[in-house]
Structure 1
Amino acid sequence: MDTIFIDSAPAEQVVELATYISSLRGDEEQALVKEVTPIVEAEKLTEATKVILRESKTLLESPEREFEGAFNLLAALVMANEDKALLAEVLKIVSSDANQKTAIKFKVLSNIFNILPANSAQRLTVFSTIVDLAAASDEIDLVIPQLPYVSAWIQEWGVSVDEERALYLSLSDRLKETGNTKQSLDLLLKYLTTFNGASQLDAQKPLATRAVVESLGAADELNFENLLKIDAIQHLKGEKVYELLSVFLNGNVQDYRQLVAKHTGLVGELKLDDEENLRKMRLLSLASLGSEHLTRELGYAQIAEALEISEDEVEMWVIDVIRAGLVEAKLNQVAKTAIINRSIYRTFGNAQWQQLHTRLEGWKQSLQDILQVVANAKLTTDAAISTAVVTNN
């Protein structure tokens, strides 16, 4: 019983499992075999399968070398049955006692997942069971490599929107509980994108707020524009948390300080760190300052004033913003200036399109001027050559 491929007929599988369960119990009378045999002979396979399921917790006592084979046989029997609800019973039994024989239980559940057709909606139930077992046994890392496939799987399975939402939210909660905050946030945002319409969005305000707070609080997260694409987060307009998000999107250090002063206790209420917020705001403010002064010199004094720091700290902050990938810049320590060669835009709206248009027009004019200079030089050269030819003749 160490293979996933089951060759015997379902009726024979029932008797085989009954015999194996009796042997695990040390039941020489084989009471279970005697119970199911007449049911099988009467060709009542579903009823016989339910009897086996009723007694199948005994299979958890199987030696590890036989455990997988025993549950493979049980799963094959159940999946051959027309009653699809029986598989849920198998999953419940396999995933019980999460800290016992955990590794082999994952293997059994993976076997069941892979046996099911790729488009089977039952795969959702199996995958959810795998996630629950991983969380309960503190093995959530085993699930993380599968997360990139979840969205595609959902489409293949053809599950309902409610089932899709339940999976995303369950995954997000499990990952948050185990400290995988980035993956948790990604799945929470996918959950929120499934909602639209005011009646749905009102109920999602607490989770939309959670998404904003977790985004702002993520240590390495400095790009918040993607949050604006989600209706559930847009629906927070008018809330204090949305004001805070707006500052991170478009404001500067001074705007942040003003908001904190306006809403005393907001940062603590949201369980955010004020110093970490200021660090991010300084990096973002410096990136915005750079985008406004591309290829032009920025004096240390100007940077220090914008970031509310001393001039002695400027070089450190420029280095930090470069490391964060927000800008490309060169420092001139003698002249105490920085030249920003490239800078990200925190948001890209009408103002940024206009700025880009103006810059492109400037480059276009510069190219025209260069072309005119080249044309004039060519005319001068041609004239000089003609003069030389005439003189020589």
Structure 2
Amino acid sequence: MRVEAFICINEKAQCEELREYMLELGAPIARTASDNYIIDLQQIISVCDIVFKVEKENEIEMVLNSIVSVLLQVGANQPEAPALLASFCDQLIKAPTPKTASTAFRVLQNLFNGFIHTPHRYRIYLALIQLCELSGQVRLIYNHLPQFKKWFPVEEFGGEKIQFLLRLLHSILQTNKLPDMAAKVMVELLTTYTEENASQAREDAHKCIVSAIADPNTFLMDYLLTLKPVKFLEGEPIYELLTIFVTENLSAYVDFYKSHASYITDTLNLSHDANMQKMRLLTFMQMAEMKKELNFVDIQKELQLTSDQVEFFIIDVLKTKLVKAHIDQSNQKVIVSLTMHRTFGRTQWKQLHETLKQCSLNMSKIQDTLIQYMIAYNQSVH
């Protein structure tokens, strides 16, 4: 099979070589070319998934990249471009194995880069998402939110298209156990809704809250309460549960669980034991914000622990690095040096402002002291 002829020839000749190659593989395609190479390209693309049965991976990639090169020559402005690109994407997502999917993924990346400044990038990116799981390239499909927003501004593609893309991304990331990335995508999805259509995001808002509560590494959740679709849930049990995790203590959660046990475990599919552990951590953080010395007895009572569990729990807290402290075992106390805030609102901003102002004042005093020292030194020398 003469695959070497695919490079450095014009688009018509390239299509002729591709046709011959597909025929040799047994593709159901017309044997004679038309006068219009775009018609030929449509036919070639319609059967190009046959290359996945070729054993040599580099040969598959070369053939598919040859089609990419012709598509680039067709360009983004031709009326046939959307249909050609959509058809090619549909063929590539048929890759049957992780190996062929990985090849198809690389080819689609080349196609995406070729059309990155055109509206067609949306359709290509959608195919990349559909292929990323089988190809094992989930981490490549989403690097960081600013890049995604640069590629797909809502003003250009519209809210519904972006929401569909983000929802699909969230599902893939969550399925592949990438909770941090999935959470960022879900929050971005919820920010695309306005007060007028926030009610349409009910299911997404539920998923966002449940994911945040279930994630053992997520402790700061106050920002969720500012999202319009989440605000729309106010008055419902899910909103009350989120509020407990944001501002309340363990006893408030225990009271909620007594009247909503089935809702938490069956409807939301959350682990009560995991919720208890997280609420203990959050309650301890709240205690550490208010007092810098905490007695074991108070910790035991507030966190509903046995006396034997207190020290082990404190060690677990310190491992999270949410609180910096040391244990005074002889006096049965915890001495807190630093704690992360559960919420960061006006009060915390004010505290930060005061801290920075004091820091600036201290630096000025040091500078003045150094200047006086240098003046005195110079006078003593001369």
- The reply to whether TM is greater than 0.5 is yes
Distance 1:4-1:341 versus aligned 2 partners, 3 A rule = farther
Distance 1:216-1:153 versus aligned 2 partners, 3 A rule = closer
Structure 1 Cα separation of the partners of residues 50 and 260 of structure 2: 60
Match of 1:209 among 206, 210, 213: 206
Structure 1 Cα separation of the partners of residues 5 and 309 of structure 2: 64
What amino acid does structure 1 have at the position aligned with 2:225? L
Deviations 1:24-80 (A, max 9, x none): 3399xxx8342x1xx22xxx3332322333443443344524212211222222332
- Is the CA contact 2:52–2:95 (under 8 Å) kept in the aligned structure 1? no
Aligned partner of 2:22 in structure 1 is 21
Structure 1 Cα separation of the partners of residues 90 and 125 of structure 2: 12
Structure 1 residue 226: Cα displacement: 2.5
Instruction: Please state if 1:309 is matched with 2:305.
Output: yes
Instruction: Please state if 1:258 is matched with 2:255.
Output: yes
User: Helix, strand or coil for the counterpart of 1:25?
Assistant: coil
- Is the CA contact 1:171–1:184 (under 8 Å) kept in the aligned structure 2? yes
In the alignment of these two chains, the number of paired residues is: 346
Aligned partner of 2:112 in structure 1 is 113
User: Helix, strand or coil for the counterpart of 1:175?
Assistant: helix
Structure 1 residue 234: Cα displacement: 2.0
Aligned partner of 2:216 in structure 1 is 219
Aligned partner of 1:348 in structure 2 is 344
Aligned partner of 2:68 in structure 1 is 75
Can you give the 5+ residue segments of structure 2 that lack an aligned partner in the other structure?
363-382
- Is the CA contact 1:288–1:344 (under 8 Å) kept in the aligned structure 2? no
Instruction: Please state if 1:291 is matched with 2:284.
Output: no
Question: Which has the larger displacement, 250-259 or 343-352?
Answer: 343-352
Structure 2 Cα separation of the partners of residues 19 and 121 of structure 1: 32
Structure 2 Cα separation of the partners of residues 178 and 169 of structure 1: 14
User: Helix, strand or coil for the counterpart of 2:8?
Assistant: coil
Distance 1:112-1:262 versus aligned 2 partners, 3 A rule = same
Aligned partner of 2:335 in structure 1 is 339
Aligned partner of 2:9 in structure 1 is 8
Aligned partner of 2:365 in structure 1 is none
Distance 1:26-1:282 versus aligned 2 partners, 3 A rule = closer
Structure 1 Cα separation of the partners of residues 11 and 128 of structure 2: 26
What amino acid does structure 2 have at the position aligned with 1:126? I
What amino acid does structure 2 have at the position aligned with 1:340? V
Can you give the 5+ residue segments of structure 1 that lack an aligned partner in the other structure?
368-393
1:62-141 correspondence to structure 2 within 5 Å = 62-64=54-56, 65-81=58-74, 82=78, 83-84=80-81, 85-99=83-97, 101-114=100-113, 116-135=114-133, 137=134, 139-140=135-136
Distance 1:6-1:112 versus aligned 2 partners, 3 A rule = farther
Structure 2 Cα separation of the partners of residues 22 and 352 of structure 1: 70
Deviations 1:255-293 (A, max 9, x none): 111112233422112111111111111111111111101
Question: Which has the larger displacement, 324-333 or 94-103?
Answer: 94-103
What amino acid does structure 2 have at the position aligned with 1:204? A
- Is the CA contact 1:2–1:68 (under 8 Å) kept in the aligned structure 2? no
Deviations 1:205-234 (A, max 9, x none): 121011101110112221212212322112
Match of 1:47 among 27, 39, 46: 39
- Is the CA contact 2:280–2:303 (under 8 Å) kept in the aligned structure 1? yes
Aligned partner of 1:371 in structure 2 is none
Aligned partner of 2:374 in structure 1 is none
Match of 2:228 among 226, 231, 245: 231
Structure 2 Cα separation of the partners of residues 32 and 277 of structure 1: 63
Distance 1:260-1:351 versus aligned 2 partners, 3 A rule = farther
What amino acid does structure 1 have at the position aligned with 2:337? N
- Is the CA contact 2:296–2:333 (under 8 Å) kept in the aligned structure 1? yes
Distance 1:351-1:153 versus aligned 2 partners, 3 A rule = closer
Structure 1 residue 246: Cα displacement: 0.8
Distance 1:340-1:266 versus aligned 2 partners, 3 A rule = same
User: Helix, strand or coil for the counterpart of 1:338?
Assistant: strand
Distance 1:327-1:17 versus aligned 2 partners, 3 A rule = same
CA RMSD of the aligned region, Å? 2.9
Structure 1 Cα separation of the partners of residues 205 and 4 of structure 2: 47
Deviations 1:218-254 (A, max 9, x none): 1222121221232211221111011111111111111
Distance 1:327-1:283 versus aligned 2 partners, 3 A rule = same
TM-score (norm 2): 0.81
